[in-house]
Every structure is written in C-alpha cells, then in structure tokens.
C-alpha cells in the first residue's frame, strides 16, 4: 500500500521555480559504508513510462552532487550502482539537499525546494500508515499459522485493515483538496481516478479547484484529457456505438441487439471475478429477457477457444463479441475500461443509466426499469 502511493505521489511546483535562471543543485550524503567511485545514476521516465538516464556521477567520501537546469519540475530517481531500490524525488530548480542510508533509499530525507518539502510532509504520514499495514499483515500471518487457526484474531485484523484502507483514501483525498497549489495533488487525483476510488464527478471538482499554475502542468493536462474522455461513458451520457465479430466471425453491433434495457458486459474467460458474477447475470437474463432485457458480452480474451469454452461452460446464452485483444480491444478503450468485470446498463434510447452493478443491485435496477 505504501509503495503504491510512493510511486504515484511525486512531482513539483511549476510556479515557484519556473522563473529561476540558476537551475538546480542536488547535494546528497550517503550514510553507511560505500566505496569511493561508486556510480550514481539520475533517471526519469519517458513518454512510455520507461526509465531513461539523465546524468551520472560518482560517490566520493560519502557525498555526490548533480547540477543543471530543469525546464519543468518532474519526478526523477537516484539509483546506486549494484544496489537495489531507488530514491524518488522532485527535480526542480533550486538547492535540493538529500540524506539517506544506502540500504533504505526510500526513507531518504529530501528538503530545500517547495515540492520536496511538501512531499516529505505527505510521505511522513503515508509511511506511518504503511507501517501499520505491515504490522497487521505480520499479525495475520502469525494468526493463520497457529494450529488451529486463530480465526477470531484474523477476522478482527481484516476489519482493522479495511478501516486502514479507508483512512488511507481519506488522507489522500483531504491532502489533495487542501493543497491546490501542489502538483502532488494532481498525481493523487490521477491515482484516485485510475483506482476508481472516487466518482469521476468528485475528482472533477477537485481538479477544478486546482490553481491555474497546476492546471498548466503536464500531469494536469493528461488528467484533464482522461476526465474529458470518461464523460463519454458517465451515467446520463449516450452510449458509444460499436461493432465486433461474434464467435462465428460475423460482425455484430450494439444497435443490432439493443432492447428496452441492455447490459454491455466486459469480461474474459481468465477473469475470476467475471466468472463468479456470470451466474447472477444468467439469472437476471432468464428472469427479464422476455420483458426486453438483453445482454451483449464483450470479451477481453486473446484466444478464441478460451472465450467460446467459457461461454459454453457458464451457460451464457446472449450475444457475444470480441476482437481478442485483451485491454487493447477498441471497444474497451472506447468505454474507458481498464479493469474487469465492468458493465454498462443502457436504456432503449441508448443512454447509460447505470454502471458496474453486480449481484442483487443489478437485478434491482433491471426490475425498476422493466416492471
């Protein structure tokens, strides 16, 4: 949990640094034995999110430094030769001071520039919650290894862990809302959007509250594009039209099978939660098909045999289509689907009336519309 946020919550303030002509200086001190001449690599990510080299230096008597000019603040990493791990920080114009243990780079102390200062504030609380999570996981292992298993303790720990997850989300949301001038807030929003931890509308409100300087940054521009794209599949929007081959190779379009109410179900043979939900969809389909309820399954499989075998095994008697391209499927991209199961309920006018309903919630919504 902690690592996930460390990898996301990284960036810098544009407004405070963009006008500096002095550039940046990174002065670092390594605590612990390290041979003189050990290489240090300064890296960042390219457009494909792959690490690329920016600069290289060496450690002498436990210290090293980098200098240059950074056009726009951006996430960078320090990596030591022949060492695991990396040290993420915000490279921005100004004087950046770093201290760390060579064997625990993630616990570095970074200060001297606005973005790194706020990053340390955020990361401090994130680390504490991460330590709580690791302690719970250790306690869970101990309880599960007892003979017989300590089921009372395990149940209590599960509940406590769920509460901690909610605390983590609340902390991140509040931090982003309370820091509209920080690019860290933009990156938190991006993570919340990707993980679907908040409704898109709430993330849009948080984005709208950002300062003009933050909205002009590259991550904010990308986030804005994602939010705009998601509006096309929000409840109340017209469902995008699509077509693809059915198992017999014939093209089938959404318009061809649209009923009074139609479920567009994104699934795959390899997706266990999808397969677990299939019996519920079968039940709803059998109960309401005669009243105008239709289903079209959009498979994100890559092998036709897996797809058709799963259809037969699960008794899915509705229409099916697939381009056999997993998440590169153009329909999945059209509907902004990056995790499955995912489903969209569409009325007879082609308007999305609900999303991602499962279990009793699906039957209840279908009954409301058709009864």
- What average pLDDT does range 187-212 have in this prediction? 91
Specify the pLDDT at position 12.
34
pLDDT of residue 14: 35
Q: Is the pLDDT of residue 17 over 70?
A: no
3-class DSSP state of 107: strand
- CA–CA separation, 103 vs 213, rounded Å? 37
Output b/e per residue, 68-93; b: 16+ Cβ within 10 A. Answer: eebebbbbbbbbbeeeeebbbbbbbb
Question: Phi/psi class of residue 30: alpha, beta or left (left: φ > 0; alpha: ψ in -120 to 50)?
Answer: beta
Summarize the confidence of residues 259-274 as an average pLDDT. 95
What pLDDT digit, counting tens, does each position of 227-254 carry?
A: 988 888 888 999 999 999 999 999 999 9
Q: What's the pLDDT tens digit per position in 319-349?
A: 999 999 999 999 999 998 988 999 999 999 9
Query: What does pTM read for this prediction?
Result: 0.70
15 has a pLDDT exceeding 80: no
In 3D space, the residue among 2, 68, 12, 58 whose CA is nearest the CA of residue 34 turns out to be: 58
DSSP per residue, 303-345: -HHHHHHHHHHHT--SEEE--S-GGG-HHHHHTT--SSSEEEE
Give the DSSP H/E element, type plus range, for residue 103: none
Lowest mean pLDDT of 7-11, 86-90, 286-290, name the range: 7-11
Using DSSP's 3-state secondary structure scheme, residue 268 falls into coil
- Digit-coded pLDDT (tens) for 54-89: 999 999 999 999 999 998 888 899 999 988 889 999
Domains of the chain: 17-112 (2.60.40.1120), 117-233 (no CATH), 243-370 (3.40.30.10)
Q: Whole-angstrom Cα distance, residue 120 to residue 109?
A: 7
The mean pLDDT of the chain is 90
pLDDT, tens digit (0-9, with 9 covering 90-100), for 171-186: 999 999 999 998 889 9
Task: Pick 127 or 298 by higher pLDDT.
Answer: 298
């Amino acid at each position: 949990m902690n690592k996930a946020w460390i990898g996301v919550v990284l960036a810098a303030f544009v407004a405070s640094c963009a006008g500096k002509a002095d550039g940046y200086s990174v002065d670092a001190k390594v605590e612990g034995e390290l041979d003189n001449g050990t290489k240090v690599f300064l890296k960042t990510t390219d457009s494909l999110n792959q690490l690329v080299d920016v600069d290289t230096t060496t450690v002498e008597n436990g210290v090293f430094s980098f200098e240059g000019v950074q056009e726009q603040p951006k996430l960078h990493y320090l990596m030591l030769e022949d060492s695991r791990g990396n040290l993420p920080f915000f490279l921005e114009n100004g004087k950046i001071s770093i201290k760390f243990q060579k064997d625990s780079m993630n616990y570095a102390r970074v200060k001297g520039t606005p973005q790194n200062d706020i990053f340390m504030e955020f990361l401090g609380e994130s680390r504490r919650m991460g330590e709580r999570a690791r302690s719970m996981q250790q306690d869970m292992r101990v309880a599960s290894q007892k003979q017989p298993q300590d089921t009372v303790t395990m149940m209590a720990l599960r509940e406590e862990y769920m509460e901690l997850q909610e605390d983590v989300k609340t902390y991140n949301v509040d931090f982003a809302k309370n820091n509209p001038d920080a690019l860290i807030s933009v990156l938190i929003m991006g993570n919340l959007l990707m993980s679907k931890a908040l409704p898109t509308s709430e993330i849009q409100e948080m984005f709208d509250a950002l300062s003009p300087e933050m909205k002009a940054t590259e991550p904010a521009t990308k986030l804005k594009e994602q939010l705009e794209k998601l509006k096309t599949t929000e409840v109340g929007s017209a469902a995008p039209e699509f077509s693809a081959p059915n198992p017999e190779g014939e093209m089938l379009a959404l318009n061809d099978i649209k009923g009074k109410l139609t479920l567009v179900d994104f699934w795959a043979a390899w997706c266990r939660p999808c397969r677990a939900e299939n019996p519920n969809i079968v039940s709803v389909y059998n109960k309401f098909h005669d009243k105008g309820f239709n289903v079209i399954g959009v498979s994100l499989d890559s092998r036709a045999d897996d797809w058709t075998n799963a259809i037969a095994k699960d008794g899915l008697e509705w229409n099916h289509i697939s381009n056999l391209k997993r998440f590169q499927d153009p329909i999945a991209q059209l509907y902004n689907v990056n995790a499955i199961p995912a489903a969209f309920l569409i009325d007879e006018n082609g308007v999305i009336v609900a999303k991602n309903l499962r279990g009793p919630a699906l039957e209840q919504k279908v009954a409301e519309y058709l009864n």
